[in-house]
Amino acid sequence: MARSVIVTGGFGILGAAVAAAFAQTGNKVARIDFAPAAREPLAGALDIGGVDLANAGATGEALAKIVAAHGGIDVLVNVAGGFTWETLEGGSIAAWAKMQAMNLTTAATITQLALPELRKSAAGRIVNIGAGAALKAGAGMGAYAASKSGVHRLTEALAEELTGTSVTVNAVLPSIIDTPANRADMPDADFSTWVQPSAIAEVIGFLASDAGRSITGALIPVTRGG
């Protein structure tokens, strides 16, 4: 039976890879993004652009469209987020609020609103995108790492809250992801050591599968190339 899958940040490099992987296995996929439109279409997907996921009203409207079209929600993958590099001394406090909103508030907002439908599912799955860099923050990574650490704590706390239900909650913690933007920012790096979006999608697919039903509250590093 086809599941109803939501991928936030679904128009970006990682989100698009995750959404495509679910679509290829016969699921009903919805992509939600802050961007107005996807750069590349995904056959059969329900695309909803221009959504500020930190806004409960806009997020609720998007979820209502998905439930009406796909009959519910079985899997929620929270990819939406952002990144900044700046030191505390040379940066702005506004960056901390921005990272909190983009990385943590977005995930918390849509997850809270989607929970009633996820709990109806026979096998509800929530997978968040954390960050390996949030386990020990380097210079200039404070604001980003703090927000992603919040995603880690959200994952753990919600998994405990949902003990005894059909819903599992996990997070994957990638190292550097091989994207055009990262290559442009770090042109001298060894790209072969970076994680491919497709590899992250495979781990997410496993956590969302029946085989992953016994895993919840886990923070899973995804660090190999491939």
CATH number at residue 185: 3.40.50.720
Determine the pLDDT at residue 226.
66
Determine the pLDDT at residue 84.
95
> What secondary structure does DSSP assign to 146-180, as a single string?
HHHHHHHHHHHHHHHHTTTSS-EEEEEEESSB--H
d(CA 222, CA 28): 26
d(CA 77, CA 171): 9
Determine the pLDDT at residue 20.
98
Tell me how many domains the chain contains: 1
- Digit-coded pLDDT (tens) for 130-189: 999 999 999 999 999 999 999 999 999 999 999 999 999 999 999 988 888 888 888 988
Residues of the chain with pLDDT under 50: none
Domain that holds residue 166: 4-222
| Beta-sheet strand order (sheet of 219-222) | 46-48, 28-32, 4-8, 75-78, 125-129, 168-174, 219-222
What DSSP character marks residue 103? I
Q: Tokens in use for 119?
A: 């709990």
Determine the pLDDT at residue 102.
98
The pTM (predicted TM-score) of the whole model is 0.96
Determine the pLDDT at residue 43.
96
HSE (side-chain half, CA atoms, 13 Å) at 111? 28
Determine the pLDDT at residue 190.
87
